[in-house]
Amino acid sequence: MIIPLSNGVAIYDKNRLCVSTIDENGDKNINGENIKETNKIFDKPIIRGITYFFFGFNLYYRCFVLQRQEKEEGKNKSAKSTDRINFLSDYIMLIASIVISFFIGYLLLGVLPSYIFNSIFTISTNYYFQSFMIALFRILIFYAVMVILRFCPFMSGLYSFNGVGNIWQNGEKGSYRHRICPLNFLNFIVIVSILSLFVISLIAININFIINFFINLLLIFVIISLSYELLRFVSNTKLLWLKDLSLVTNFLVCGKPNITQEEVIMSAKLELENFKDFEKTDKNRISISTLYAEMQTKLKNSERFEQSDVDWIIATVLNKSRADAKLVRSVSQKEYREIMRACEKRAKGEPISSIFGFVEFYGLRLEVNKKVLSPRMETELLVDEALKKIREYELESVLDMCTGSGAIAIAVAKYYPCKVTAVDVSKGALGVAQINAQNNNVKVEFIQSDLFKGLKKNKKYDIIISNPPYIKSGDIEKLDVEVKKFDPRLALDGGVDGLNFYREIIASSGKHLNKNGWLFFEVGQGQAQKVKEMMTEQQFYDVNIIKDYSKIERIVYGRAGKGNIRKNFKDKE
């Protein structure tokens, strides 16, 4: 259940109430409390409507108390005393406002419609026609007053927060109008008010004051129950035209929210999802839920949102693991600024690896810059599959062709005791790779070479692994800015069809592989079958294709030349 406030929202879920607000300084605050579970009998049809009605007002009261407590915290004794006087004044003003509103409502909805009707219809009319017309006048006056309030500046916050609450509560994709939830609390109150005015005015019971009061009260309870069931049905229906009918009243209490208001409700939602209890955030610190909401908004608006990006940025700035970072409840102002600066760079297309100068790969921390391609998650799959074969056949020598940052070579050397050689044509890339090998305490032989040209002709390996450039030359300018701007073109350009390096490596690898040695490739989308065909034509056998986490054919591997298997290969064929 989402309750809109003039300066925020409250979300009630699973016996927990979270209040997220924004103060006059633009600072977002989160507070909350646990609420005792209600008896399940109150959730039965008919009864649940009355429960919803009174529980909604109860939540408003709780929100009021929580916000008052929040203002009182941190104040000195004299300030608290002054605040209590102000609170008493506010309370008196509230009661006075209710009394004045009652009399204005009585005049507008009670006396005025009867006076207008009697002025227009001076001749005696049918009693029921008279009651119907008075009821209609009252509804029209009520609606007119609500329309005026709808456009009053002091009500805009409440209605806009109600609008954003409806979108979240309904969760339906589509246009803004169809994402309005008919069963939002304010719309429910308006519907109950209109129907109560109409029915009570139409019936117009006139026995005596006490009997009239109790009969009308009973009618209101019946209207509350029926209104709830009706709106519940409309909310759950897939008939959009039926939901559109609710716009007649929803229009009165819903405004289109802005980005900040969306962040406020997102903060409350994240707080409820990620934490089981409520922790008071110091005034000088920012709630992690508020931070998450702002980051998600910025990244989603740039169409670059990935939850992993948000987690990596926060964890890196806080110098914590991603698991430990999820336990953090708030950040300092300095940490907040650093995180948002990194988030702005990510929103502009700069990859995480470029922002911080390193990347996490296969459990290792690797430095990266514009001289090397930042290793992707898909390449971890290539290492994973290669290591399976290395362990299975106890392979002794490994060649990483087009090593770049050294990610593949270093990961293999780190997790299996074998001799690893890494080759790249770029001297700058090899410099980065050597630093990464030293930082991760592994021994790798690095050779600057244009593919196999710089290698000894008689040098052979048990397995060659390669993630070569595979982007078509004509497609590079079409790539996302984070690739074409921050990754070196040398590590991207695979020729006209993107397969130049595969042809050369496959054609030359036979001379540098031991009999039955393995050749492993990472390939681009749509290239796997062609690479498999090229390997088969060059007498590779047992050629297989493996899909990545997105079900894209990503890894191609096979064995070179049929013949006797080396004795140290524990072949399980």
Looking at residue 490, its pLDDT comes to 59
Looking at residue 513, its pLDDT comes to 93
CATH number of 373-560: 3.40.50.150
Count other Cβ atoms within 10 Å, centred on residue 278.
19
Domain boundaries, the chain: 2-8+38-246, 259-358, 373-560
Element counts in the chain: helices (H) and strands (E): 21, 15
Q: Rounded to an integer, what distance in angstroms lies between the CA atom of residue 378 and that of residue 515?
A: 28
Q: Rounded to an integer, what distance in angstroms lies between the CA atom of residue 186 and that of residue 4?
A: 8
Q: Rounded to an integer, what distance in angstroms lies between the CA atom of residue 66 and that of residue 62?
A: 6
Helices (H), ranges, 302-426: 307-317, 322-325, 333-347, 352-356, 377-393, 407-415
Looking at residue 505, its pLDDT comes to 92
Count other Cβ atoms within 10 Å, centred on residue 436.
25
Q: Rounded to an integer, what distance in angstroms lies between the CA atom of residue 199 and that of residue 230?
A: 16
The half-sphere exposure of 32 on its side-chain side, counting CA atoms within 13 A, is 28
Q: pLDDT averaged over consecutive 10-residue blocks of the chain (573 residues)?
A: 90 89 85 79 81 90 82 56 52 58 59 66 66 82 86 87 78 53 89 88 80 87 93 83 82 87 90 85 86 90 77 89 86 93 88 84 87 84 95 94 93 95 92 94 94 88 91 62 55 71 90 92 92 92 91 93 44 39
Interval 428-449: pLDDT, tens: 899 999 999 999 999 999 999 9
Q: Rounded to an integer, what distance in angstroms lies between the CA atom of residue 53 and that of residue 46?
A: 12
**Which of helix, strand or coil describes residue 30?**
strand
Q: Rounded to an integer, what distance in angstroms lies between the CA atom of residue 289 and that of residue 225?
A: 36
Looking at residue 342, its pLDDT comes to 92
Q: With beta carbons less than 8 A apart as the criterion, state whether 462 and 396 touch.
A: yes
- Output the furthest CA–CA distance in the chain (Å, rounded): 117
Looking at residue 565, its pLDDT comes to 36
DSSP character for 516? E
Q: With beta carbons less than 8 A apart as the criterion, state whether 353 and 374 touch.
A: yes
User: For the chain, how big is the Rg over CA atoms in Å?
Assistant: 35
Between CA 383 and CA 504, with CA 453 as vertex, the angle to 5 degrees is 60
Do 259-358 and 373-560 agree at the fold level? Answer: no
Q: Which residues contact 509 (CB under 8 A, 6 or more apart)?
A: 452, 464, 519, 560
Query: C-alpha distances in angstroms, 119 versus 113, 124, 216, 476, 539?
Result: 10, 11, 27, 79, 103
Looking at residue 570, its pLDDT comes to 41
Which CATH number fits the domain 259-358, given the four candidates 1.10.8.10, 3.40.50.300, 1.10.3720.10, 3.30.70.3270?
Answer: 1.10.8.10
DSSP character for 372? S
